[in-house]
């Protein structure tokens, strides 16, 4: 992922950023046709992530008690894995495959997309096998990246991929989704922290705080491991680590500076900082309550992390990642702030309603936060189509 302020690090990240720029740039004639063909070949993988999102959202709204047509049983039962692995996991592994620039890397997003669709179709065990295999394949991708250049940030991301794989193995053994949650949290948090760690490289070299984030990342992993035998302690340890990582990111991420700029850098920074705030909320809830004792606490603890934190990262990096992956233009436009504000306002209402026992506010917040994802997709499509028509006219 590119620096929200335009910077980039050396080594593997430079390769990734350069690859994104080459693939996302505007081309003409045969080059433009070739770029579009490449994007079309990757489109089924992206479509798999989108289908996982749609199924997971429908299932989640059904669980929430919103007034929607009853979802299939599998959509509701596998709501968490569909969102965390089918949607976010496919997007992350697809971006890594593009960065790796080797054909076999695309097996990871293919396995995760196919696994999510299989689970959603009601074939539970085969879907679990495919989704777990996707995590293992992503670990292999990171091993190649680490072989190219051994560095702290890629190691942190690889640990995140390993957490996906371990969580999947627990799932395969018949574990409940609740047993997977600390591992899925480690997957997403460590992946994002590793990405942002590269962009704070110069600051870390000057202040010598790289060891701090490594220790916090290790603490998060320790919390996941502890949850296997002592769930209450494991969740509290993981929550403490998330609190620490949220504070570290808020202080050291370049977003703290680029939020004062304009255009895309400011938009990305706002998304990131809002996401870090939700990571802190999730960490606080996990650290204080441990394993949630009731449905409302569970809802708040999970959606602060998987919706507030993770989806905010998706919103913020979409203008960079989509051109690289699908080779379509998605220039910044102020309209993108609309779904961002809608998402965070609705999520705040959902969590407040859950924690205070205001069921109607919780349901309304959940429904609107889901709608925010649809609004973002529509805004992004509109901006992209407008940019394409403008380019074609030129």
- The residue with tokens 């004792």 is 293
Whole-angstrom distance, CA of residue 340 vs CA of residue 270:
9
Whole-angstrom distance, CA of residue 312 vs CA of residue 304:
11
* Enclosing domain of residue 323: 274-394
User: In the chain, how many domains are there?
Assistant: 1
> What are 122's two structure tokens?
């009601």
What's the confidence (pLDDT) of residue 268? 94
What's the confidence (pLDDT) of residue 83? 96
What's the confidence (pLDDT) of residue 29? 59
Is 134 among the domain residues? no
Is 347 among the domain residues? yes
Query: At 303, is the secondary structure helix, strand, or coil?
Result: helix
Is 363 among the domain residues? yes
Is 242 among the domain residues? no
Is 338 among the domain residues? yes
Question: In this structure, which long-range contacts are made by residues 361-366, counting pairs with CB atoms below 8 Å and at least 24 apart in sequence?
Answer: 362/64, 362/296, 362/299, 363/64, 363/65, 363/66, 366/60, 366/61, 366/64, 366/66, 366/303
Whole-angstrom distance, CA of residue 314 vs CA of residue 307:
10
> What are 190's two structure tokens?
């460590």
Is 312 among the domain residues? yes
Task: Provide the sign of the torsion angle of the four alpha carbons 208, 100, 164, 82, taken in this order.
Answer: positive
What's the confidence (pLDDT) of residue 192? 95
Is 320 among the domain residues? yes
What's the confidence (pLDDT) of residue 292? 87
This prediction's pTM: 0.89
Residue ranges for the chain with pLDDT beneath 70:
1-36, 200-208, 390-394
Whole-angstrom distance, CA of residue 285 vs CA of residue 240:
9
Whole-angstrom distance, CA of residue 385 vs CA of residue 339:
18
Task: Provide the sign of the torsion angle of the four alpha carbons 311, 312, 315, 320, taken in this order.
Answer: negative
Is 80 among the domain residues? no
């Amino acid at each position: 992922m590119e620096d929200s302020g335009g910077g980039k690090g050396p080594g593997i990240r430079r390769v990734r950023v350069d690859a994104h720029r080459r693939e996302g740039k505007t081309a003409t004639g045969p080059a433009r046709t070739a770029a579009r063909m490449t994007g079309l070949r990757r489109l089924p993988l992206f479509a798999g992530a989108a289908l996982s999102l749609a199924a997971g959202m429908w299932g989640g709204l059904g669980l929430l008690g919103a007034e929607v047509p009853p979802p299939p049983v599998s959509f509701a039962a596998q709501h968490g894995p569909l969102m965390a692995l089918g949607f976010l996991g496919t997007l992350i592994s697809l971006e890594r495959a593009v960065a790796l620039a080797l054909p076999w890397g695309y097996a990871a997003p293919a396995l995760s997309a196919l696994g999510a669709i299989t689970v959603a179709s009601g074939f539970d065990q085969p879907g679990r096998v495919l989704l777990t295999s996707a995590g293992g394949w992503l670990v292999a991708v990171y091993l190649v990246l680490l072989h190219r250049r051994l560095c702290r940030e890629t190691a942190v991301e690889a640990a995140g991929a390993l957490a996906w794989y371990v969580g999947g193995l627990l799932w395969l053994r018949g574990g409940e989704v609740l047993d997977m949650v600390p591992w899925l949290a480690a997957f997403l948090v460590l992946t994002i922290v590793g990405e942002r760690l590269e962009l704070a490289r110069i600051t870390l070299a000057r202040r010598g705080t790289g060891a701090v984030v490594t220790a916090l990342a290790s603490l998060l992993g320790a919390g996941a491991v502890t949850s296997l035998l002592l769930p209450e302690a494991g969740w509290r340890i993981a929550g403490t680590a998330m609190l620490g990582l949220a504070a570290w990111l808020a202080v050291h991420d370049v977003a703290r500076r680029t939020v004062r700029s304009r255009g895309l850098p400011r938009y990305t920074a706002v998304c990131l900082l809002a996401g870090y705030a939700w990571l802190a909320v999730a960490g606080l809830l996990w650290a204080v309550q441990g394993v949630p004792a009731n449905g409302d606490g569970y809802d708040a603890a999970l959606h602060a992390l998987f919706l507030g934190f993770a989806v905010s990262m998706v919103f913020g990096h979409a203008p960079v990642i989509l051109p690289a992956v699908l080779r379509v233009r998605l220039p910044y436009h102020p309209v993108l702030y609309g779904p961002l504000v809608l998402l965070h306002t609705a999520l705040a209402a959902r969590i407040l309603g859950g924690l205070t026992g205001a069921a109607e506010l919780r349901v309304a917040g959940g429904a609107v936060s889901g709608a925010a994802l649809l609004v973002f997709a529509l805004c992004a499509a509109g901006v992209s189509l407008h940019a394409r028509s403008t380019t074609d006219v030129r």
